[in-house]
Chains A and B, each alone.
Chain A
């Protein structure tokens, strides 16, 4: 019978996985990820890959917004930087795809840091507008700098090959994408056990107090922008190589809002929250679509309004979620764990 988790040594308190149950769950999750593709259809693999890419992007945004408290509406723009850099470096310079992904992440980190400069003076809604400007400026440059990006025309990226195997088939790409999710998650979780991560959290909780304690706000805010953009650029680069085609229409303001919704619904300031949010926001439209399609067979007379019902349900589910569990799916998950752990005396 347990009434909570209590640590008796510093070592166990600071460990990444602190209880046997956590270790077992992680092992089960990894086992599931490893076994899943062998039983999955191509459609579910596509969904899984979209979830993986979204998860990396959401973790990136969460570093900035969830952990450091700097709201960003520039997500779509930064993803565009990653995708276009990866595509252009591969097409124009003929570099291998894996190198292009690394370069794209680094370039996006630099661009992110550049657009992070206003964050020193701006907070909250004002920063949101400044990053919205980043979104618009980046897309404007992408669509109008024809000599570099090809303007509004789609950029066709050659298929990524490794030892003669095409990496961007749904099955092969799964391993790359989820492998990178693992690396991203591990790096992020560990980041917040270092003094950099603690500085980010201190800035989020009270920036003036953080500065008084000797945290260089300018340096750490820019660092947060750069680190966040690094992962966002990574997810953009993955999109470029997964789809073999880069079009600007994929990186509009909708994308920025969608990713904010992901981390808010999943849980701010949490890696697992990013995974939950990305999964939820990617699968929900697919779930609704399939429900809609099967209901079409049952009620043929409402076929024409079904898409509207789907859209309304999408909004409704999100609103209900936020009302019932404002701290996100992560909190929900913790409540479920507590319920079982403390059963039957859940006071």
Chain B
């Protein structure tokens, strides 16, 4: 009996492997659809923000195709979940390149870093939701394009604003600024640049990593208090940031210290988790949230409404995904309009001609050049007021 069972299992496995082999080779040829690859985190550690982002990217493609595509040519978005695993990202990347994608949408810092040599060799323009300044090195990462303001620039803008705010309140001298960050490449990314900028401005600066898996940040807050920080920049994801400000509120620090969240913790999720403690927290938001309506929200809001949902439900990261895909599509559109073949190399060249591209107020105008793939350097500061991100300043540019 036993060996019979074994045989059945073996046959099932064999069939599955064969099926997958067929699936890999089944890509259609000679149609006019433009294939774009994408990997999302839908089941991994960052799936809480990865899911709405992925819906935004997919939503934009569906919307575009429903509205005639690019000059009648549709975008065929080839996507899969990679659960934030680098190996999976590599498998999917080579699978999608094999199927003929000409551009790629990634997600996190891990996969973007791991793939950057390959995408340069394959000449596949790549955009992701990782805004690490490492990706700006045009020699090492010639095919990476950044839409959002880099983490370094966000931290610098936050320090700049802190100095202004400090002086506007009639204080003498310079404020003290602390940066508390996620313990990862993502978290470390802005530290060196922020420190250099703070020093150049004569601002006292400290930085501290948030220990992994911590259930409270009382010890870190004690260190920040000892340092005497007036402004604390938080660079992590929503849930630890919420825990941090709750701890700060319990200790009565909210009056003494102003907290500034960077983009991955300045979202609706943070407000939901932190509740009352979120009130009065500032944020550097490169993407305009739905709570501050701009023309760039209209198309996604309309599209979601037609499909039984709403932009308020999906939130900021949906807008982020939507417009990241929109900028990539603009590059493809320029290639198509010039009548050139749609290849990764041509899309890169076309993206590099984008100057002051208007995202309907969702981001500062986007500009790429052959020397710089730093899409935008300006953002607005927001503050949580009555449970909503509310605009405080106009665009502030990093120097």
A interface residue numbers (CB < 8 A to B) = 41-47, 50, 151-154, 156, 170, 243-245, 247-250, 254, 280, 283, 285-287, 289-294, 306-308, 310-311, 321, 324-325, 332-333, 335-336, 338-339, 346
Contacts and interface: CB of A to CB of B under 8 A. Distances in A.
Nearest to B86: A250
A41 B25 contact: yes
Nearest to B92: A289
Given A243-B114, A254-B85, A291-B19, A325 B25 contact: no
A44 B17 CA distance: 11
B91 A311 contact: no
A285 B7 contact: no
Nearest to A310: B81
A339 B85 CA distance: 39
Contacts of B7: 335-336, 339
6 contacts: A247-B114, A249-B109, A249-B110, A250-B110, A250-B114, A307-B83
B90 interface: yes
Contacts of A249: 86, 109-110, 113-114, 184-185
A266 B90 CA distance: 23
Interface in B85-108: 85-88, 90-92, 94-95, 97-99
Contacts of B80: 289, 292-293, 307
B21 interface: yes
Nearest to B186: A152
Interface residues of B, number: 45
A290 B117 contact: no
Contacts, number: 130
A287 B188 contact: no
Contacts of A44: 21, 24
Given A293-B23, A307-B81, A336-B6, A47 B114 contact: no
> Which 6 pairs show the lowest CB-CB distances between chains A and B?
A307-B81, A290-B23, A46-B94, A152-B185, A43-B98, A244-B117
B266 to A, nearest CB: 22
B32 interface: no
B91 A325 contact: no
B19 A287 contact: yes
Contacts of B392: none
Contacts of B140: 156
Contacts of A243: 90, 114, 117-118
Contacts of A287: 16-17, 19-20
B43 interface: yes
Contacts of A41: 24-25, 98
Contacts of B83: 307, 311
A336 B3 CA distance: 7
Contacts of A289: 80-81, 91-92
Contact of B94 (A42, A247, A280, A285): A42
Contacts of A50: 87, 90-91
A286 B20 contact: yes
B225 to A, nearest CB: 25
